[in-house]
A and B are shown apart, each in its own frame.
Chain A
């Protein structure tokens, strides 16, 4: 049968028989020859989005009953501000052609935008300029965040992933805070008024997190409304915004005191990290011990010096020296005994004065005391010298006073 048909064709007795390849190529040329199909916008919802390892993007545009296959080559896909998502209403620009090997006609797309984005963008820019003109976004308006927040307000949906993310980060980083949730819907028509009210309702917070998870531009739209932007600017506590994803540009971000790319990042910006703090406390503890040891060493050394000074200045040592000198003088000169005695007396007097000036008194000035037994004026160096009830003379820098030993420990061995 097949053979007969092709024989007929060869004989020219039958209309031309196509191969699939020939046909596909022909249809492709037809499509590509129609200039209206080579530069067009198609609106629809994204479905069956996939991006294999090749990096090309494949998806269908659907209007509910009909589908159109679309492809975005990797080179174009890399230029998109963000990847489209299933279910998003978009407008796609490109040209129609045929994938010959698959026999499929499809839209080769080069641009993609959210449906209605053009209009929304106009509105966004108009409002941004107006509020900017009022100074709502001025850098001077930005308030610093407290280093040690105690009460953290959170304005978001009570059921959203954003709240969960924020609570996870706060428990991990800095669970010392009290979190006050001011619940509000974050999308839909009622959202702007509800968000503004939720912001205003927070009292006595050190910082407020205004957060919402990612979504389409429409999903985030409440945060671009004048009502919400003004409520952010009017907040009593500094506001950290964390709305959508990194790439989303939101007016509320401009009015916030700090902008974070995501809800988790907002919680991080607003709190110190307890791991860093633990490290810091460790450093301080070591610094404390070091400083104390250093201080002790210095004082020890001074005590040693004072002891040595006391020893060399002890009256016996000085007197022995003086006596020797006097003997020498006596030997060398023929001084009368009287003269010798008076010289000796004067010498001793001078020595005593020197002692007072440079000896123990200086040490006493630092808070040390000399303790003598009242009975024999012996310097007390050991508890062994003191018996209970013994009278003591305590000499401090500017005089001395009497005291009595009330309790004396059992004799201890020296160590």
Chain B
């Protein structure tokens, strides 16, 4: 198994799915104390990461605009005020 990434390097999907897998493993596994503790601590960090991402996320808005060569460019855009 490769070395796990630091939780703050993970996107929501990765953090959430690892958290799910890890809880299953801890519930079912006959792991030695040291490994159990490691899973527990990582799980807590993953949960914090997930909540952080959910709380802080801001929709990013992009818009396609035709470029000169017949393709498209992406640019930021603001929806018109209501």
**Interface residues in chain A, defined as those with a beta carbon under 8 Å from any beta carbon in chain B:** 147-148, 150, 158-159, 163-164, 167, 170-171, 174-183, 198, 201-202, 274, 277-278, 280-281, 284-285, 287-289, 291-292, 295-296, 299, 366-367
- CB–CB B43/A288 < 8 A: yes
**Assuming A170-B59, A181-B64, is B40 touching A292 (CB within 8 A)?**
yes
**Assuming A177-B59, A183-B64, A295-B36, is B16 touching A281 (CB within 8 A)?**
yes
- CB–CB B44/A285 < 8 A: yes
- CB–CB B53/A176 < 8 A: yes
Residues of A within 8 A of B31 (CB): 295
- CB–CB A288/B59 < 8 A: no
B23 shortest CB reach to chain A, Å: 5
Interface presence of B74 (CB below 8 A): yes
Name the residue on A nearest B23 (C-beta). Answer: A287
**Assuming A163-B79, A164-B82, A281-B50, is B33 touching A299 (CB within 8 A)?**
yes
- CB–CB A277/B16 < 8 A: yes
Residues of B within 8 A of A175 (CB): 57-59
Name 14 extra pairs, CB < 8 A, besides A178-B59, A201-B72, A292-B39.
Answer: A167-B61, A167-B79, A171-B59, A175-B58, A175-B59, A176-B11, A176-B57, A198-B64, A274-B54, A284-B43, A285-B43, A288-B23, A292-B26, A296-B36
Name the residue on A nearest B82 (C-beta). Answer: A164
**Interface residues in chain B, defined as those with a beta carbon under 8 Å from any beta carbon in chain A:** 11-13, 16, 19-20, 22-23, 26-27, 31-34, 36-37, 39-40, 43-44, 47, 50-51, 53-54, 57-64, 72, 74, 77, 79-80, 82
Q: Is the interface of A mostly helix, strand, loop or mixed?
A: helix
Q: Is the interface of B mostly helix, strand, loop or mixed?
A: helix
Residues of A within 8 A of B19 (CB): 281, 284, 288
A149 shortest CB reach to chain B, Å: 10
A284 to B53, CA, bound (A): 16
- CB–CB B23/A291 < 8 A: yes
- CB–CB A176/B54 < 8 A: yes
Residues of B within 8 A of A183 (CB): 63-64
Residues of B within 8 A of A171 (CB): 58-59
Interface centre among A177, A198, A295, A367 (most CB of B within 10 A): A295
B76 shortest CB reach to chain A, Å: 11
Residues of B within 8 A of A291 (CB): 23, 26-27, 40
Can you list 9 A-B contacts with CB-CB less than 8 angstroms, sorted by A residue number?
A: A150-B13, A177-B60, A178-B60, A281-B54, A284-B19, A288-B40, A289-B40, A295-B31, A367-B34
Residues of B within 8 A of A147 (CB): 13
Q: Which of B20, B32, B34, B36 contacts A292 (CB 8 A)?
A: B36
Residues of B within 8 A of A170 (CB): 59
**Assuming A180-B74, A292-B26, A295-B33, is B47 touching A285 (CB within 8 A)?**
yes
